[in-house]
Amino acid sequence: MDFKVLVADPIAAEGIEFLRRHLEVEVRTGMPVEQLIETVPSYDALIVRSETKVTPPVIEAGARLQVVARAGVGVDNIDVDTATKRGVLVINAPLGNTVAAAEHAMALMLSLARRIPPADASIRAGEWKRSRFMGVELQHKTLGIVGLGKVGAEVARRARSFGMNLLAYDPYVSAAAAEALGVRLVPLDELMSHADVITVHAPLTPANRNLISTQELELAKPGLLLVNAARGGVVDEEAVAQALESGRMGGAAFDVFTREPITEDNPLLTAPQTVLTPHLGASTREAQVKVALEVAEQVVDVLNGRPARGAVNAPALPADLLADLGPYLELADRLGRLFTQVEGQSLGRLQVTYSGELASHDTRALRRALLRGLLEPITNERVSVVNAELIAQERGITLTEGTGIAPEGYTSTILLEGPEGAVEGTAIGDELRIIRFNSYPVDFVPNGHFLFCPHVDRPGFIGAVGTILGANNINISAAMSGRLAPRGETLLVLTLDEPVPDDVCEQLQTGVQGLRGLIRAEL
C-alpha cells in the first residue's frame, strides 16, 4: 500500500523533499475547515503547523488517518483526546527549536549586559553618549540556570565558553547529569543569592507559576540581570518591574509573557532597563528546517511501523493486555505522579517491584506508564508511553525493575522506591488504592487533592488541623492515619475538595503542635 501525506500548512522545503523520497505527498495549504474535512479521508498522515485546527470532525473524517504531525513543539491546535480515542498518533518536533531558543537566551543576556538596545536607540536619535551605556562582562560572572532541560543544557554549554561559573536549580535533574555539563545543582534560594545573571528555562506547571517572584528577588544581588525565554508566568512580571523601578535589579529581558500578545498594561513595558521580544525563541530559518525534517522523518517511521520520538499520545493497547493490566496501568501512572510530587528531589536511580500475579506478566507497558506519571508533572513536553523512556534517559532517570511476593491480603502490588522514600499501590477490581507511603501503612484512593501531615500521634492533633482547614473553607472529603506505633510516628492523610494555599500551610506549620512538615499532592 502506498501511503499518502497531506501537508496542510507551509513547512520548510527540506521536509517536503524528504517526504517525497518515501511517500506520496500533496501540499494544500490554507484550506477552510470544510474543505479539509472533505479532503482528509484519502490520507494516512496529516502535517500542520499552528494555522490549521485539527478538530474532532477533521480527525473523525480521516478514515485512513494514522498520524497527525505538528511541525513545532506545541499541539494546542490538535484535539489530542479525539486522536487518541480514534487510534491516531499525534507527534510533534520537540528537538528542532532547542538551539534557536538557547541562542536567543544568550542574545538577550548579551543585550542586557552591554545595553545594546538603548545604545542603538540613542545613536539613531543623533546622540553620541558613550558614558551612558557602560556595560558589564559575562566572563567570571555566575550564571544561574533555572531549569536544566534541553534548552537549559544548551545555554550551559554556551555560557561555559564565555568563562562563566554555572549554577542550576532543577529538582528533577540528577547531579551526575548536571556535572557532565559543568554545572553545580543548588536550591533555588542559593541560586538567587549567588547569581549575577539568571536565565529561566523551566516549564510552566502549577508548581512553577511565579517561581521567581518578590520573595526570590529580595534574595538577589544588587544589579541582577534576568532573562526569561521559557514560558510566560514562570517569572512574576509585576515583581520584576518593581525591582527594576527601585534600582535593585540591573535589567531584565523577556521573550515570553503571561498574556500573549503582550497587553498595554504589562508593567514591563514601562519599567527601566528592559529588553522585550515577541516570542522569537524558535524563530530562525534553521529551526524551521529542523522541525520540518524532524516531523517528516517521524511520519515516515510511523507509517512503516517504527516508533516516533515526538509522540504525544499513546497508541491503543491490545485488548488482551488491556484486560489483564488495565487498572494497573492507571495505578502505575498515579504512583509515578505521587512519587514525583512527594519525592521529586530524589529522582535519579529508582526501583520498581511488581509483586504477585503482576510478576508473571510482560511489564513493559507498566514501566512506560510509571515513567509517564513520573515525568508529566515536571516537563513542558507531552509525555506518553511512547516517548517516556527516552525523556527519562535524557533527564538521567534510571528505573530498575524486580519482582516479588505480594503483601498478605493483596493479589498484586506495584512498589516504587527511591533513596528518600517509597509509595506502593494495588488495584481491587477497578478501584485503585495506595497502601504504603514511605514507611507508613496507609489506605486511600489516589484521586483528588491531598495533604500529608507527618507527626507524633497525640490527642487533639487531627482536630487542630481540621479547625485551621475549616476556617479557610477547605473541605476534608476523607481522612486516615497510618502510624508505626501507638503515640508514635504517624502520617495523617487528608483528601480534600480544594488545594491548600501557601498561606494556609504556614498557618498549619505554626499553629499545630507536633506537625513535622507538610506535603501537598494532586492526583
Q: Which residues are catalytic?
A: 231, 260, 279
User: In Å, what is the CA distance from 446 to each residue of 64, 345, 423?
Assistant: 38, 21, 11
Helical segments of 195-318, H only: 214-217, 237-246, 285-303
Q: Is 116 helix (H, G, I), strand (E, B) or coil?
A: helix
Q: At what angle do helices 116-124 and 98-113 cross, to 10 degrees?
A: 60
Q: Is the dihedral of CA 55, 60, 61, 62 positive or negative?
A: positive
d(Cα 158, Cα 96) in Å, to the nearest integer?
Answer: 18
286 φ, ψ to 5°? -65, -40
Burial of 344 (C-beta count, 10 Å sphere; 0-12/13-18/19+)? middle
d(Cα 136, Cα 152) in Å, to the nearest integer?
Answer: 22
d(Cα 426, Cα 406) in Å, to the nearest integer?
Answer: 10
DSSP 62: -
Q: Which residue has the cell 559543568?
A: 182
Residues 434/424, Cβ–Cβ less than 8 Å? yes
User: In Å, what is the CA distance from 163 to each residue of 140, 141, 156, 178, 396?
Assistant: 6, 8, 11, 17, 26
Residues 5/19, Cβ–Cβ less than 8 Å? yes
- Examine residue 272 and say whether the peptide bond preceding it is cis (omega within 30 degrees of 0): no
d(Cα 198, Cα 216) in Å, to the nearest integer?
Answer: 12
- Beta 142-146 vs 45-48: how paired, if at all? unpaired
- Beta 142-146 vs 165-169: how paired, if at all? parallel
R_g (Cα) of the chain, nearest Å: 26
